[in-house]
Amino acid sequence: MAITKVSPGLLDLDSGITISVADNSDNLTLTSTDADANSGPNLRMYRNSSSPADNDYIGEIQFEGRNDNSQDVVYAGFQGRVLDASDGTEDGRFELYTIRNGAQTSMMMTSASEIIFNNDSIDLDFRVESDGNANMLFVDGGNDVVCIGGTTVESGDHFEVLSSDSSTNVRIRNTNAGASSSSVIFDKASSSPADDDQIGLINFIGNDDTGNATVYAQIFSNSTDVSNGTEDGTLSIGTTRNGVYATRATFTGANLAFGHTSANAISSTAPTLSMNHPSSSTLTGGISYSANGTIKGYHYVENDFLLHQTASGVGQKFYNGSGIGLRLDTDGIKFGSDTAAANALDDYEEGTWTVAEKNGQGGTVTTNRANYTKIGRMVFASASVLVGTTTNNNILNFTLPFASTINGYYLGGGNVSYHEFPSAQSDNLRPNIENAAADVHFLYGDNSTPSLAVKCNEVSTKRIDFFVQYQVS
């Protein structure tokens, strides 16, 4: 028969009570028929100590059974404890425990300052399931790894985010209305920092076609100088090419360096900086150079030509080991520290021309070859010419590729390397260019008699090879 009501004055339980049943029915039921919203029924565990102290245990519920050796074993339980019994600052603790490998082990503990799982630091995993993932949160107790979305991949990791689809693995969002943004910090708080310490590393790893995990790219940072007040750092980017990893670019405090195994190597296989224009077939992307927000110059390619352009049109300077070796500006090319426009090299040209006889000698002039090089204001020309059959007695004048600007003196000249002229015209035979002339004639004989000039009919059907140099505007 069940006892449903006992008056307190009729029952003394100071020596404890055991309630036993022979089946699986309830041993004890607490019932409240109160209809209000307050708590009830209530089970109160009251430690009425006359000398309460910190760390006193104040109650425990045990789940006890027997082992296969007919021994009583507490398999699980929870207990309360006083952490601080000081009036006005009381703190308490609640702990849930189980038996593991024959020993009581703390599973979860709550106190005034924290909630602890696995307080005994054993190889015990912690797992939280979501609706679609059995390991939405997984703490690997043996390998000290925290995982989101799966179980441990690499035992040396500390934190892993895992997924099996194409969704975003990690999103960092900041809803602050101010100017600050989301941030990720790599903080190496070394007690003995040294130059060239690595501060942070990001690996981009994927499998190759045989399933081997491969580092395809890296981003990493080093502290190249840890001296207080003169600290320097680098940020480097590396990739794998033909199965070999190498650093490709490094940002330093002052430069952007592109790495290669050979110094100054430039080839089709060397690392390159690619500038692509997304919508033009003739114009590439480029590099602009700015100072305080103002663009000062550019590098780009247009119609297969590499262009180096300054925004102001001032020009460019090329330095050698001792200073300026070459400068380019609107005047042309200048050497060293010379800035005078008159000293600029403003033209260079190579070509050929067809030699004609200016005075109309009546025969045909055949140009075997005629080549020139124009450097600035100086022209260097050479030709091999065959004079046709003629009886014209005018002075023989061959046209030149450019008109001379010689003024007042016969300063354009050269030499004759081969000729078939008669002996009379062979004496001291030499080319001569007159003032502002676009042609050359040939003198012979005494230099004091400049009127001795070769005439057309004197060299009919004859060949002459000559070289001249002269000045133009």
SS in 3 state form for 403-428? CCCCCCCCCEEEEEEEECCCHHHHCC
349-471 is classed CATH 3.90.1570: no
Quote the tokens at residue 139: 């703490």
Domain ranges of the chain: 54-122, 126-161, 197-258, 287-345, 349-471
Q: What is the pLDDT of residues 400-418, one digit of tens each?
A: 999 998 765 656 789 999 9
CB burial readout 5-42, b (16+ within 10 A) else e? eeeeeeeeeeeeeeeeeeeeeeeeeeeeeeeeeeeeee
pLDDT > 90 fraction of the chain, expressed in percent and rounded:
60
Specify whether the CB–CB gap between 307 and 320 falls below 8 A: no
pLDDT > 70 fraction of the chain, expressed in percent and rounded:
89
Mean pLDDT across 330-349 = 89
Q: What is the pLDDT of residues 279-293, one digit of tens each?
A: 778 877 778 878 887
Specify whether the CB–CB gap between 76 and 91 falls below 8 A: no
Question: Which residues 6+ apart lie within 8 Å of 270 measured at CB?
Answer: 260
Mean pLDDT across 375-399 = 93
Burial class (CB in 10 A: 0-12, 13-18, 19+), 233: middle
Q: What is the pLDDT of residues 9-59, one digit of tens each?
A: 666 667 778 888 899 999 889 999 999 999 999 999 999 999 999 999 999
Instruction: For residues 299 and 411, give the distance between their C-alpha atoms in angstroms, rounded to a whole number.
Output: 44
Specify whether the CB–CB gap between 147 and 127 falls below 8 A: no
Specify whether the CB–CB gap between 260 and 267 falls below 8 A: no
Q: What phi and psi values does residue 77 have, to the nearest 5 degrees?
A: 180, 175
Q: What is the pLDDT of residues 196-233, one digit of tens each?
A: 999 999 999 999 999 999 999 999 999 999 999 999 99
Q: What is the mean pLDDT of the chain?
A: 87
Check pLDDT > 70 for residue 313.
no
Specify whether the CB–CB gap between 325 and 316 falls below 8 A: no
What is the model's pTM? 0.56
Measured between its terminal Cα atoms, the distance across the chain in Å is 134
Quote the tokens at residue 285: 């992307």
Check pLDDT > 50 for residue 264.
no
Confidence of residue 265 (pLDDT cuts 50, 70, 90): very low
Q: Which of 155-169, 245-259, 435-449 has the lowest mean pLDDT?
A: 245-259
Give the model's pLDDT for residue 332.
Answer: 87
User: How far, CA to CA in Å, does 237 sit from each of 4, 77, 188, 283, 437?
Assistant: 79, 55, 19, 28, 64
Mean pLDDT across 76-99 = 96
